[in-house]
Structure 1
Amino acid sequence: MTLLEIFSAPIASGAQLFLLIVCILVGLGAGLSAMDFRNTTPPKESKEK
């Protein structure tokens, strides 16, 4: 089942909007978590000989 099938399905527009908002919020949350993780972990020191 593709996203196109989900959003073109004949469900109530309120549920369609709710699914769209949930998908956007989950995407933003994942992006913010990744950025926060990248900023809080100390950079690995490269060992040069």
Structure 2
Amino acid sequence: EIKGELDVALFEKAFQLVVDRHDALRLVLSVQGGNVRQRVLPYVKSQL
């Protein structure tokens, strides 16, 4: 629960910092030749 006004721009910036810091939030899974592969993207632009 958030009380009061929310600074959306500041919230988006904070969320982007979390995504930048944690590899798991930039992880992509794919299947190649029947094998599951994972790749961490160097950058993902978060969208809320």
TM-score (normalizing by structure 2): 0.36
Structure that is richer in strand per residue: 2
**Structure with the greater relative contact order (CA < 8 A, sep ≥ 6): 1 or 2?**
2
Structure that is richer in helix per residue: 1
Larger C-alpha radius of gyration, 1 or 2?
A: 1
